[in-house]
Structure 1
Amino acid sequence: MIINESAENYLETILILSKARPVVRSVDIAEELGFKKSSVSVAMKNLREKNHITVTKEGYIYLTESGREIAEMIYERHELLTSWLVQLGVDKNIASEDACRIEHVISKESFEAIKKHIK
């Protein structure tokens, strides 16, 4: 399944917000990411068309099975890579920023090797 980095970030954000809130709306995503509501609306339309999310008539956003799968994969990569970089002595903020970039381009094989090595 090929999905772009922006879509992965949106899905990961929906997952993170859904862990902290009873419902997630476009405005919540816009606030979290610092984006305009109009940009988020376009992204949500694209994710809905690709069946990665559903949106209720009230505007509540939920991950579909495929959306959740992608979001959890990216979230796991982010968390593990951030923690690994911090363990190596990288400042937590820098580690998180670097992990955010790496999580989208690292191959499954390389990530699994790092995960195995760390654990």
Structure 2
Amino acid sequence: MRSFESREDYLETILVLYQEKGAVRSIDVAERMKFSKPSVSRAVGLLKSAGLVTMDREGFLRLTSEGEAAARGVYERHTVLRDFLIQIGVDAATAAEDACRMEHVISTQTFESIRKQLKDEDKERIVR
């Protein structure tokens, strides 16, 4: 696996696929990410070595508690950033693409400020 960003993308993909399908295999990850099976197999091996993923005898992937926490953090950054970008007028497709890149580099301070802004605006909408 080439980078921390790549590792986060794999974890997020496994999480989302598990939420959608209830079970995830490496082939599902390869198809979703549009990567070759050997590339995904290598990445899964690295995730297993890092203690972030397990694979059972049938080849089903599961996030460990550490892997799930990391995946949920990335996924939250992605969804908050995507929603923020849409709210400021970016079209949904571009917002999703940009959020995917931004989720890896945004500072905690900036992310927390964006998340707070969205929550405050949601509260205002409910009051109205």
Which residue pairs with 1:61 in the alignment? 61
**TM-superposed deviation, 1:22:** 2.4
Aligned to 2:81: 81
Q: Report how far residue 109 of structure 1 moved.
A: 2.0
Q: In structure 2, what residue type is equivalent to 1:10?
A: Y
8 Å Cα contact 2:52-2:68 kept in structure 1: yes
SS of the equivalent of 2:24 reads coil
The alpha carbon displacement at 1:79 in A equals 0.6
Letter in structure 2 aligned against 1:63: L
Distance 1:11 1:108 in 2: 19
Instruction: Give aligned-pair identity as a percent.
Output: 48
Distance in 2, matches of 1:111 and 1:117, equals 10
Please tell me whether the aligned partners of residues 53 and 64 of structure 2 are also in contact (alpha carbons under 8 angstroms): yes
Structure showing greater radius of gyration is 2
Alignment of 1:18-97 (within 5 A): 18-97=18-97
3-state DSSP class of the match of 1:81?
helix
Which residue identity is paired with 2:80?
A: L
- Count of aligned pairs between the two proteins: 117
Which residue number in structure 1 is paired with residue 11 of structure 2? 11
**Helix, strand or coil: the match of 1:58?**
coil
Structure 2: distance between partners of 1:42 and 1:58: 18
Residue 113 (structure 1) aligns with: 113
Displacement over 6 Å in runs of 4+: none
1:42-64 per-position Cα deviation (integer Å, ceiling 9, x unaligned): 00000000000001111100000
Q: More displaced, 43-52 or 108-117?
A: 108-117
Secondary structure of the residue that 2:58 maps to in structure 1? Answer: coil
| Partner AA of 2:70 in structure 1 | I
Task: Indicate the SS of the match to 2:43.
Answer: helix
For structure 1, list consecutive stretches of 5 or more residues without a partner in the other structure: none
- C-alpha root-mean-square deviation of aligned residues, in Å? 0.9
